[in-house]
Amino acid sequence: MPSGVGRVMLRYVERNFARESYRGSAWQPRRNLHNRKPLLVDTGKLKASFKVREANWRVIRVGSDRQAASGNAHLAQLHNEGAKGVATVRTYTRRGRNGSVRVRSHRRQTNLPQRQFMPIPGKEPLPPELWAEIEGFVSKELDKVFK
């Protein structure tokens, strides 16, 4: 039964990705309006990385293991909670028509808007919509057992 509740939670996260909203409030639109792809879906790897990480009678954890490009932060957490700060851009080679140019490492101001798709653990309770789905699932499972 705990893994089934985990699957209910996964469906909730997937629905929020499809709706591009959380608890009825839409995500902030992207700055580049020419890009018609859904928000937070470039390759689909972040969306596909959500799994039931732990499911037992004490705790059920649903999450992602995708790392940000810097490798020190979880990509899902950055998007779910939003982030502001300074990011270091690594040295790289820019190739153009006139040859290659080496770009030195530098810092860039970042502002990643919050596009929440799942509850933040420890900061907010589960949404009523998700509770209702979990209760419905549990009652169906109990009906199967006690028939």
pLDDT tens readout for residues 82-106:
989 998 899 999 998 889 999 999 9
pLDDT at residue 135 in the model: 95
pLDDT at residue 139 in the model: 94
50 vs 67: which has the higher pLDDT: 50
pTM (two decimals) = 0.76
Specify the range with the lowest mean pLDDT, choosing from 57-61, 69-73, 138-142.
69-73
pLDDT at residue 93 in the model: 95
Please write down the HEC assignment for all residues of 63-121. ECCCECCCCCCEHHHHHHHCEEEEEEECCEEEEECCEEEEECCEEEEEEECCCCCCCCC
Confidence of residue 71 (pLDDT cuts 50, 70, 90): low
Structure tokens at 119: 């509850």
In this predicted model, what pLDDT tens digit does every residue of 100-135 receive, in sequence order?
Answer: 999 999 999 989 899 999 998 888 888 999 999 999
Interatomic CA distance for residues 70 and 1, integer angstroms: 37
- Residue 90, C-beta contacts closer than 8 angstroms, at least 6 positions apart: 105
Interatomic CA distance for residues 84 and 111, integer angstroms: 5
Q: What is the mean pLDDT of residues 63-92?
A: 82
pLDDT at residue 69 in the model: 62
- Residue 96, C-beta contacts closer than 8 angstroms, at least 6 positions apart: none
Give the three-class secondary structure for 55.
Answer: strand
